[in-house]
Amino acid sequence: MSKIVQLISNNCGNITPDSVDEYVKAGGFEGLKKAFTMKPAAIIAEVKAAKLLGRGGAAYPAGSKWQHLLEIPEFPKYIVCNADEGEPGTFKDKLLLSQEPLRVIEGMIIAGYVFNSNDGYIYIRGEYEAIQRTFQKALDHAIEEGYLGEKILGTDFSFNIHIKTGAGAYVCGENSALLNSIEGKAGRPRIKPPHLAEVGLFLKPTLVNNVESFATIPVITQIGGEKYLSYGTKDSGGTKLVCLSGHAAKRGVYEVPFGITLRDIIYDPEIGGGIAGGKKLKFFHLGGQSGPCGIPAQLDTPYCYKALRTAGLAVGSGAVVVMDESVCVVDYLKGVTEFFIHESCGKCTPCRQGNQQLYKILCRMTSGAGAQDDIEKIHGLIDIMTKTSFCGLGQAAAVAVSTCLLYFKDEFEAHLNGICPAGYCVFESEIEALR
């Protein structure tokens, strides 16, 4: 039996992305029509029953977030879609934005209806310029057909969606930084509290959800929260888009129900298809650069929020980067850390300096100049970064390093003794010997 369950990606590749007509024929906008017959609180009750956890990576319960905003009496309220997908190994929002934009739009309209909001913003990363155009066409067509704009479907409810572009800053994926960027400022995160539900975009109450979360809303509204939940496990509702990259034989985006195992995701012939070239799996990196790494012994862990967390792993953004035996763990982590050096906004010292110091030590190790107390120094840095960074970026930047130290300590130690077990690193001493 196929392990793939398509609730939010079934139109991908099957319809013209910006065609309202084709979207409606495929069952589109049924969720919205049903929502219009429901009270806002009832819709939120369904989102809660669905146990939808934020699909951007933070896994915050969407129902609680919505409830909080509903209770805020101030207006106007804004609906914001976070489409600043920049997490390495993550390309699922791109699939939805380019292939199912109308589903994302439908989810945003339902949110607008729930909060009696008239304006939504979708912040799409600058690198997805072509997708911004597709999305605009989808918006235009939705307006022409009466699903968006003034007096939607003959009701008194009016809602518009505006596209805002990013310009290359990973930290804008952090919701408060994203709002600053929409306002035309540098995308640095804001201090919290106040919560964005209280003081958000243009200082007004704001809902920020990820693309995949919004795409899920019409499904939940249409089939009901309980039914949606039943596709997954009892605490991780529904399905998740996972992104396979690296040395997986079949790289790509797959929609899977929560509860199948990591082994299914990496090895099922319909999903990852095993390791490319028939090689052996060495480790995998889940949920993005700030996510934990795991090893083959953990392959039978069910892919759901609770089981992964118990195993020291995480769903995060849905990224599954697969590494075969040719990859050197220390070199890999150098890449991860270099990424965070580039993407740190520089506002706080633990993140700005911590990543640079980590990188220096890892470089020392891969060049054969590591010192015996370097591993201890790494632990110290991880501790400070995790506990004292200003925002989630710095707090989680060292998670990959910390989990790899758990499973591959001997590989770090080998580097200190001038050996790269993967045979990837070229040490200074070897270069000397060649001279």
Q: Which is nearer to another protein, 61 or 296 (CB)?
A: 296
Q: Is 329 in the site for another protein (CB under 8 A)?
A: no
Q: Which is nearer to another protein, 153 or 295 (CB)?
A: 295
- Give the nearest distance from C-beta 210 to another protein in angstroms: 14
> Can you tell me which residue has the tokens 């408060």?
176
Q: Which is nearer to another protein, 170 or 228 (CB)?
A: 170
Distance in angstroms (rounded) separating the CA atoms of residues 209 and 131: 19
Amino acid of residue 391: C
Size of the site for another protein (CB under 8 A): 51
Burial class (CB in 10 A: 0-12, 13-18, 19+), 3: middle
3-state secondary structure of 115: coil
Q: Is 184 in the site for another protein (CB under 8 A)?
A: yes
Q: Is 399 in the site for another protein (CB under 8 A)?
A: no
Pick one of 1, 130, 297, 433: the residue that binds another protein (CB under 8 A).
130
Distance in angstroms (rounded) separating the CA atoms of residues 236 and 53: 7
Distance in angstroms (rounded) separating the CA atoms of residues 315 and 256: 12
Pinpoint the alpha helices (H) of 318-398.
Answer: 329-343, 349-366, 374-388, 392-396
Q: Using CB under 8 A, which residues numbered 214 to 243 contact another protein?
A: 243
Pick one of 196, 253, 281, 425: the residue that binds another protein (CB under 8 A).
253
Q: Is 189 in the site for another protein (CB under 8 A)?
A: no
Q: Is 186 in the site for another protein (CB under 8 A)?
A: yes
Helix (H) or strand (E) holding 64: helix 62-70
Q: Which is nearer to another protein, 250 or 306 (CB)?
A: 250
Residue 294 CB neighbours (<10 A): 24
Rounded to 10°, the helix 349-366/374-388 angle is: 160
Q: Using CB under 8 A, which residues numbered 338 to 357 contact another protein?
A: 338-339, 342-343, 345
Q: Quick check: bond before 101 cis, omega within 30?
A: no
388 phi and psi angles, rounded to 5 deg: -120, 0
CB 64 within 8 A of CB 260: no
Site string for another protein, 81-120 (x = CB under 8 A): ----xxxxxxx-xx--------------------------
Q: Is 406 in the site for another protein (CB under 8 A)?
A: no
Report which of 230, 213, 218 is spatially closest to residue 63, judged by C-alpha positions: 213
**Residue span binding another protein (CB under 8 A) among the ranges 124-132, 226-234, 381-389, 426-434:** 124-132
Order of strands across the sheet that contains 281-286? 252-257, 239-246, 319-324, 281-286, 293-294
Pick one of 335, 360, 373, 430: the residue that binds another protein (CB under 8 A).
335
3-state secondary structure of 121: strand
Distance in angstroms (rounded) separating the CA atoms of residues 305 and 314: 7
Q: Is 165 in the site for another protein (CB under 8 A)?
A: yes
Q: Is 251 in the site for another protein (CB under 8 A)?
A: yes
Distance in angstroms (rounded) separating the CA atoms of residues 314 and 329: 19
- Give the nearest distance from C-beta 414 to another protein in angstroms: 19
Q: Which is nearer to another protein, 141 or 164 (CB)?
A: 164
Q: Report the relative pairing of strands 281-286 and 319-324 from DSSP bridges.
A: antiparallel
**Strand spans (E) along 232-318:** 239-246, 252-257, 281-286, 293-294
Q: Which is nearer to another protein, 123 or 231 (CB)?
A: 123
Token pair for residue 394? 């710095």
Pick one of 147, 332, 359, 408: the residue that binds another protein (CB under 8 A).
332
CB 175 within 8 A of CB 69: no
Pick one of 29, 78, 115, 128: the residue that binds another protein (CB under 8 A).
128
Token pair for residue 282? 């060495």
Pick one of 5, 114, 138, 323: the residue that binds another protein (CB under 8 A).
323
Q: Which is nearer to another protein, 40 or 126 (CB)?
A: 126
Site string for another protein, 278-317 (x = CB under 8 A): -------x---x----------------------------
- Give the nearest distance from C-beta 18 to another protein in angstroms: 18
- Give the nearest distance from C-beta 344 to another protein in angstroms: 12
**Residue span binding another protein (CB under 8 A) among the ranges 33-41, 74-82, 177-185, 366-374:** 177-185
Residues at the interface with another protein (CB under 8 A) = 85-91, 93-94, 125-130, 164-170, 181-188, 243-247, 251-253, 285, 289, 321, 323, 327, 332, 335-336, 338-339, 342-343, 345
